[in-house]
Amino acid sequence: MSKYKKTAKKKWILAVLSLIAILSHTYGQTAMINVESRDNKMSLNGEWKTMIDPANSGEYLQVWQEKTPQKKTDFFEYSFEGAPLLKVPGDFNSQLRELTHLEGIAWYKKSFNYSRKSGKRLFLHFGAVNYLANVYLNGEKIGSHEGGFTPFQFEITDIVKEGENALIVKVDNRRHGNGLPGFSFDWLNFGGITRDVDLIETNDTYIEDYTIQLKKGSLNTVQGSIQLNGTKPSQKVKVRIPELDLIHKAKTDEDGIANIEFTSKFELWSPENPKIYEVIIESETDIVKDQIGFRSIEVKGTDILLNGQPIFIKAVNIHEENPHQGSRAHSVEDAQVLLNAAKELGCNLVRLAHYPHSENTVREAEKMGLMVWSELPIYQHIQFEDSLVPQKMENMLKEMIRRDKNRCGVVVWALSNETYPGTPGRNDALIELTQQCRAEDSTRLVVHVANTQTYKDNTFGVSDSLYLHSDIVAVNEYIGWYIPWQGKPSETQWHVAFPNKPLFISEFGGEAMYGSQGGPEDEAAYWTEGYQEKIYVDQVEMFNKVPNLVGVCPWLLFDYKSPGRMHTVYQQGYNRKGLLSEKGDKKKAWYVMKEYFKSK
Ligand code: GCB
């Protein structure tokens, strides 16, 4: 065979192999939005039976078949009978001590009763499962989903049984080189069915999706769409906002889509006045209610404008962990623990690092007047050249935007954090993702966070070319902690290669253990509150020198679990950069930050 033919054959085989790989990854059906408002809903939350499968034997044993002995010589080496119970929603790591560091497979089972109704459709909806989910109903695989922080659903209308049904989910939170995130990240990899599971009954044609937000650049015109799903796609639809006496009528086409546009005198949402309206979306066969606010967000020159006015962003980073319980946060109450602390600090924005947090958190933040920065887990080392990664990024992006695009509180889609210019394929992949994001939603800021920087002779250089595709230059810098000061903070010079963009310090800070009396306060190695406080005092001094600064965001609100943080005295498995300890004690740096925000 000629060399040319050989290469062509190899290329063809590779193409087929990657297609097979893509197809074998079913991603779950895109979920309907606003599940919260659905009346005909049955929660599958609660206790689920579980089997831990450290050897990955469950696949080979086909545990979803739940075989039982038929004759005296039969036995099967698995059983959900007498199995330990785990709470859903919830991570498994915090529920059983022996699972604290589990990164592996757990099989979950829940039985439910259902009585079939003609003319109704039934969906099985998961708020999130970290990281891979394979879902089986009554012994048959119904699909799978990859990605730990976004919702997915399966229609089970035709396969649900009258009476008792057995639902089994294989949850796998092992790390993958080509996962999002990849192998390494600085938080506890909470696995499990971490958000709500619901059965949702709808009519034959239901409202699957809608977009109701102000059109880019406008303060009074809503531009959006309604999407129906079912056998009667073409229907009359209405959007009603009773408080404004507003009824907008439209008609969906044969694909179930209606574009909508209407104008009104909205009282705009802002941190000072988080005004939200009840909005009713109605078709001939379905009705959903939502709570929606209206505001505009844009970058003009080196400013960020909210509702046309420049705003200084007083932010804080938050991980999705209930600090008091050391568990993955999911409930409204969990969200309130985190968001109340952010409010007390004086914030007007929360950066929900480093993955999409639960819908509860986003909705609560919006109600409380906190803008939201929502982020994809495209974190540090990502294998951008892996053939599966672009599709995974796109799916996750779409799932994130779809769920929260009607939340006016969400002002930023952050697409990546601290990726490296030297990683092969990074720029092409992230530029493509940026374009996809802007095509999905043109109304919010699209941001990449980087820490590609130099610090020499007290001059701090920021240059990553990815910022060309970011609406703001979002910089993580740890001067005073990972990088020692090289002169007076107030004399630090910033050289930013993008002088025409707003600059946002998306992370800064250092570690301290609350109450540490370990050693001198001018030495880092004792994790004293004084050392951390000094970092904050110095940073605040430097902020005045940072060109085009539109906001700052300390890393971070509460100490949180991170297994890589191994100092046995001071860290004990926690990243201690919190302004608050995991118990909520205020460290000295808290007061520095609170004062700074008060002054802005
Ligand atoms: C960073 C990362 C954040 C880490 C933090 C740290 O730059 O973005 O995820 O946790 O530094 O504590 O080192």
Distance 417 CA to ligand 1 centre (A): 9
Query: Ligand 1 atom 3: the closest Cα is on which residue?
Result: 186
Structural tokens at position 325: 């319980």
Distance 176 CA to ligand 1 centre (A): 20
Q: Which residues fall within 8 angstroms of residue 145, CB to CB, at 6 or more apart? A: 26, 27, 28, 126, 129, 132, 133, 135, 152
Query: Which strand ranges, in their side-by-side order, compose the sheet holding 120-126?
Result: 41-43, 197-203, 120-126, 152-155
Instruction: Please state the atom number of ligand 1 nearest to the C-alpha of residue 187.
Output: 10
Q: Taking phi first (over 0 means left), then psi (-120 to 50 degrees means alpha), and beta for anything else, what does residue 101 get?
A: alpha
CB-ligand 1 contact for 555 (6 Å cutoff):
yes
DSSP classification of residue 192: B
pLDDT computed for residue 517 by the predictor? 83
Please give the Cα distance from 502 to 512 (Å, whole number): 30
According to DSSP, the residues that pair with 213 across neighbouring strands are 223
Backbone torsions φ then ψ of 61, nearest 5 degrees: -80, -15
Distance 33 CA to ligand 1 centre (A): 32
- The 3-state DSSP composition of the chain as helix, strand, coil percent (nearest 5) reads 20, 30, 45
Is residue 540 within 8 A of residue 491, CB to CB? The reply is no
Instruction: Please state the atom number of ligand 1 nearest to the C-alpha of residue 417.
Output: 8
Distance 240 CA to ligand 1 centre (A): 44
Query: Ligand 1 atom 7: the closest Cα is on which residue?
Result: 476
What are 483-505's pLDDT values in tens digits? 999 999 999 999 999 999 999 99
Query: Ligand 1 atom 10: the closest Cα is on which residue?
Result: 186
Going along 156-233, which residue ranges are E strands? 163-172, 197-203, 206-214, 221-229
Distance 23 CA to ligand 1 centre (A): 35
Query: Ligand 1 atom 13: the closest Cα is on which residue?
Result: 186
Is residue 64 within 8 A of residue 114, CB to CB? The reply is no
What are 396-442's pLDDT values in tens digits? 999 999 999 999 999 999 999 999 999 999 999 999 999 999 999 99
Mean pLDDT of the residues in the chain: 95
CB-ligand 1 contact for 477 (6 Å cutoff):
no
CB-ligand 1 contact for 417 (6 Å cutoff):
yes
State the average pLDDT over residues 386-391. Answer: 98
pLDDT computed for residue 7 by the predictor? 43
Q: Which domains does the chain have, with CATH numbers?
A: 11-202 (2.60.120.260), 215-294 (2.60.40.10), 309-599 (3.20.20.80)
Distance 565 CA to ligand 1 centre (A): 12
Instruction: Please state the atom number of ligand 1 nearest to the C-alpha of residue 354.
Output: 9
What are 147-195's pLDDT values in tens digits? 999 999 999 999 999 999 999 999 999 999 999 999 999 999 999 999 9
- Pocket test of ligand 1: the residue of 417, 419, 482, 507 to mutate, having most ligand atoms within 8 Å of its CB, is 507
Residue with tokens 């022996």: 98
**Which amino acid does the sequence have at 387?**
S
Please give the Cα distance from 119 to 313 (Å, whole number): 50
Whether 462 shows a pLDDT value over 80: the answer reads: yes
Q: Number of C-alpha atoms within 13 angstroms, CB side, residue 480?
A: 28
Distance 105 CA to ligand 1 centre (A): 27
Whether 10 shows a pLDDT value over 50: the answer reads: no
Distance 309 CA to ligand 1 centre (A): 31
Is residue 260 within 8 A of residue 247, CB to CB? The reply is no
Instruction: Please state the atom number of ligand 1 nearest to the C-alpha of residue 476.
Output: 7
Instruction: Please state the atom number of ligand 1 nearest to the C-alpha of residue 185.
Output: 9
According to DSSP, the residues that pair with 137 across neighbouring strands are 140, 167
Please give the Cα distance from 346 to 340 (Å, whole number): 10
Distance 7 CA to ligand 1 centre (A): 43
- Pocket test of ligand 1: the residue of 555, 557, 570, 577 to mutate, having most ligand atoms within 8 Å of its CB, is 555
Whether 15 shows a pLDDT value over 60: the answer reads: no
CB-ligand 1 contact for 476 (6 Å cutoff):
yes
What are 529-565's pLDDT values in tens digits? 999 999 999 999 999 999 999 999 999 999 999 999 9
State the average pLDDT over residues 389-402. Answer: 98
- Pocket test of ligand 1: the residue of 185, 186, 373 to mutate, having most ligand atoms within 8 Å of its CB, is 186
pLDDT computed for residue 518 by the predictor? 81
Query: Ligand 1 atom 4: the closest Cα is on which residue?
Result: 186
Q: Number of C-alpha atoms within 13 angstroms, CB side, residue 370?
A: 30
What are 315-364's pLDDT values in tens digits? 999 999 999 999 999 999 999 999 999 999 999 999 999 999 999 999 99
Q: Are strands 473-476 and 445-450 parallel, antiparallel or unpaired?
A: parallel
Instruction: Please state the atom number of ligand 1 nearest to the C-alpha of residue 511.
Output: 12
pLDDT computed for residue 28 by the predictor? 63
Higher pLDDT, 189 or 12: 189
Instruction: Please state the atom number of ligand 1 nearest to the C-alpha of residue 562.
Output: 10
CB-ligand 1 contact for 597 (6 Å cutoff):
no
Query: Strand, coil or helix: what is 438?
Result: helix
pLDDT computed for residue 300 by the predictor? 98
Please give the Cα distance from 264 to 286 (Å, whole number): 25
CB-ligand 1 contact for 507 (6 Å cutoff):
yes
Environment class of 569 (CB within 10 Å of its CB; exposed 0-12, middle 13-18, buried 19+): exposed
Query: Ligand 1 atom 6: the closest Cα is on which residue?
Result: 186
pLDDT computed for residue 29 by the predictor? 82
CB-ligand 1 contact for 416 (6 Å cutoff):
no
Is residue 396 within 8 A of residue 389, CB to CB? The reply is no
DSSP character string of 7-67: HHHHHHHHHHHHHHHHHH----BPPPS-GGG-SSEEE--EEEEEEE-TT--HHHHTGGG--
Environment class of 528 (CB within 10 Å of its CB; exposed 0-12, middle 13-18, buried 19+): buried
According to DSSP, the residues that pair with 288 across neighbouring strands are 281
State the average pLDDT over residues 293-304. Answer: 98
pLDDT computed for residue 168 by the predictor? 98
- Pocket test of ligand 1: the residue of 352, 419, 476 to mutate, having most ligand atoms within 8 Å of its CB, is 476
State the average pLDDT over residues 369-388. Answer: 98
CB-ligand 1 contact for 94 (6 Å cutoff):
no
Structural tokens at position 96: 């059983």
Going along 265-409, which residue ranges are E strands? 277-282, 287-292, 297-300, 303-306, 309-310, 313-318, 321-322, 327-328, 349-352, 371-375
Distance 218 CA to ligand 1 centre (A): 36
CB-ligand 1 contact for 351 (6 Å cutoff):
no
Structural tokens at position 307: 């509702």
Distance 70 CA to ligand 1 centre (A): 55
Instruction: Please state the atom number of ligand 1 nearest to the C-alpha of residue 449.
Output: 8
Whether 263 shows a pLDDT value over 90: the answer reads: yes
